[in-house]
């Protein structure tokens, strides 16, 4: 627990206490996130950040000691969440945290409360053995805490499919069930085990399932044999966030997804995999056109919490152009705001 007193710009003396969240804080935390982010969504008046906090509490690695509140005069006026996950960093399993959201009540903003929350979160995460923290955030704000920009990509490859001969006979899709989990875990390791950067979704069905009305998490089969798994956003162009399949099954899996959404095995889709991986899986049949769309935006940042972690070498190599930024796939609970 930390207590700090100081004067704000308006010479208002404040006494802020930073502590771990409690169950009894949940409503106050939701209110802080709603108030803090309402101005970010002026057109539709919809705030999803407090929903995201609830979803991330379902993470099997959730740690309430990394969900911090700022308390002033008995009232919660700020909140930050650091969510632990397993990662692959340059082919090695590592523990890290994802930072976000950070929220401070509007009348208490610009008084250093957000900084206090973030710095305490970094301290705790480092002491718990997490090697790094990553986020998508404001480039004018987070680098002051040691975050390095352009560290990963959320996009991967644009694929155009044109398959006149596709026959949907025998194909089916269904939601994930508990019996699929061992297959999914093995498929994920085959797909991402040697990646420069990857986030492991988890070992439980809720971590592989739907969390948004506009999303689908489907196991696709042909003649009762599993072809693969796809987690995607249904939109004008399909946005596939996770795609797991053996190389030989990838063409039929993509053809079925296109047919399912477009009514024919033709069209475009975004896929969060590298162009190299997809091209190797799809071959040169002429039915698929693959274009690399990987982009490391300056808002995609990593802070190294442990210099001995492989993430330090990863960041150095990315900054020096020796390694392409990894393609980060946030887990399904981050899809909570996706809608049709």
CATH number at residue 214: 3.40.630
263 found inside a domain: yes
Please tell me the pTM assigned to this model: 0.91
Segment 84-121, tens digit of pLDDT:
999 999 999 999 999 999 999 999 999 999 999 999 99
Instruction: Give CA–CA dist 34/39, Å, rounded.
Output: 9
Residue 56, domain CATH: 3.40.630.30
Q: Examine the pLDDT at 339 and tell me if it is beyond 60.
A: no
Q: Dump the DSSP string for 151-199.
A: -EES--EEEEEE-TT---TTEEEEE--GGGHHHHHHHHHHHHTT-SEEE
Whole-angstrom Cα distance, residue 229 to residue 207? 13
pLDDT tens digits, residue range 254-297? 999 999 999 999 999 999 999 999 999 998 878 999 999 999 99
Q: How confident is the model at residue 5 (pLDDT cuts 50, 70, 90)?
A: very low
Residue 94 within any structural domain of the chain: yes
Q: Are residues 72 and 102 in the same domain?
A: yes
Q: Would you say residue 340 lies in a domain? A: no
- pLDDT, averaged across the chain: 92
Q: Report pLDDT for 14.
A: 63
Same domain, 113 and 135: yes
How far lies 127's CA from each of 3, 212, 310, in Å? 19, 34, 17
Which residues, other chains included, contact 212 with Cβ-Cβ below 8 Å and sequence gap of 6+? 233, 335, 336, 337, 338, 339
d(CA 296, CA 315): 12
Residue 112 has phi, psi (to 5 degrees) of 85, 5
Would you state the structure tokens that stand for residue 273, as one six-digit string?
């995999």
Nearest C-alpha neighbor of 53 from the set 72, 42, 37: 37
Q: What is the arithmetic mean of pLDDT over 229-235?
A: 93
Cβ atoms < 10 Å from Cβ of 17: 16
Do 279 and 319 lie in a common domain? Answer: no
The encoded tokens of residue 200 equal 């492991």
**pLDDT at 7 (0 to 100):** 43
Per residue in 186-200, pLDDT (tens digit) is 999 999 999 999 999
Sheet containing 238-245: order of strands: 171-175, 215-222, 225-233, 238-245, 266-271, 157-162, 288-292
C-alpha radius of gyration, the chain, whole number: 21
| Residue 175 reports pLDDT greater than 80 | yes
- Residues 41 and 116 grouped into a single domain: yes
56: enclosing H helix or E strand: helix 49-56
Residues 328, 231 share a domain: no
Counting residues of the chain whose pLDDT is more than 70, the rounded percentage is 93
Name the residue range of residue 6's domain.
2-152+296-335
Question: Do the beta carbons of residue 129 and residue 309 sit within 8 Å?
Answer: no
Q: Do 196 and 81 lie in a common domain?
A: no
Residues 57 and 115 in one domain: yes
pLDDT of res. 45: 62
> Do residues 205 and 284 share a domain?
yes
Closest CA to 145 of 313, 330, 302: 302
What pLDDT shows up at residue 11?
A: 37
Together in a domain, 195 and 287: yes
89, 63: one domain: yes
- Cβ atoms of 256 and 220 within 8 Å: the answer is yes
Shared domain for 26 and 103, answered yes or no, is yes
Angle, vertex CA 277, rays to CA 276 and CA 283, nearest 5: 85
Residue 317 in contact with residue 192, Cβ under 8 Å? Answer: no
- Residues 6+ positions from 286 with CB-CB distance below 8 Å: none
The answer to whether 85 and 199 have CB atoms below 8 angstroms apart is: yes
Round to whole Å and give the CA distance between 124 and 269.
40
User: Looking at 16-20, 76-80, 91-95, 234-238, which range is the least confident one?
Assistant: 234-238
Q: Tell me, yes or no, whether 117 lies in a domain.
A: yes
Please tell me the total count of domains within the chain.
Answer: 2
Residues 321 and 255 grouped into a single domain: no
């Amino acid at each position: 627990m930390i207590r700090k007193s100081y004067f704000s710009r308006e010479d208002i003396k404040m006494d802020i206490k930073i502590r771990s969240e409690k169950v009894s804080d949940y409503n106050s935390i939701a209110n802080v996130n709603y108030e803090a982010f309402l101005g970010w969504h002026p057109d539709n008046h919809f705030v999803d950040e407090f929903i995201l906090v609830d979803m991330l509490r379902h993470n099997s690695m959730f740690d309430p000691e990394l969900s911090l509140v700022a308390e002033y005069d008995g009232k919660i006026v700020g909140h930050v969440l650091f969510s632990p996950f397993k990662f692959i960093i340059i082919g090695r399993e590592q523990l890290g945290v994802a930072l976000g959201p950070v929220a401070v009540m509007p009348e208490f903003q610009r008084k250093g409360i957000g900084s206090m929350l973030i710095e305490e979160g970094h301290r705790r995460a480092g002491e718990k053995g997490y090697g790094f923290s990553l986020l998508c955030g404001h480039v004018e704000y987070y680098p002051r805490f040691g975050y390095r920009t352009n560290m990963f990509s959320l996009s991967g490859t644009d694929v155009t499919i044109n398959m006149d001969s596709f026959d949907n006979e025998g194909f089916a899709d269904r939601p994930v069930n508990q019996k699929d989990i061992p297959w999914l875990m093995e498929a994920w390791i085959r797909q991402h085990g040697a990646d420069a950067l990857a986030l492991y979704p988890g070992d439980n069905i809720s971590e592989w399932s739907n969390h948004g009305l506009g999303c689908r998490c489907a196991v696709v089969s042909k003649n009762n044999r599993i072809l693969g798994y796809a987690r995607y956003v249904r939109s004008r162009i399909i946005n596939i966030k996770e795609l797991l399949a053996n190389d030989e099954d990838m063409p039929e899996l993509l053809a079925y997804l296109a047919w399912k959404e477009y009514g024919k095995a033709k069209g475009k889709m975004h896929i969060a995999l590298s162009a190299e991986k997809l091209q190797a899986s799809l071959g040169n049949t002429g039915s698929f056109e693959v274009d690399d769309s990987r982009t490391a935006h300056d808002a995609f940042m990593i802070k190294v919490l442990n210099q001995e972690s492989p993430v330090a070498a990863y960041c150095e190599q990315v900054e020096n152009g020796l390694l392409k930024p990894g393609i980060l796939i946030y887990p399904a609970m981050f899809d909570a705001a996706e809608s049709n």
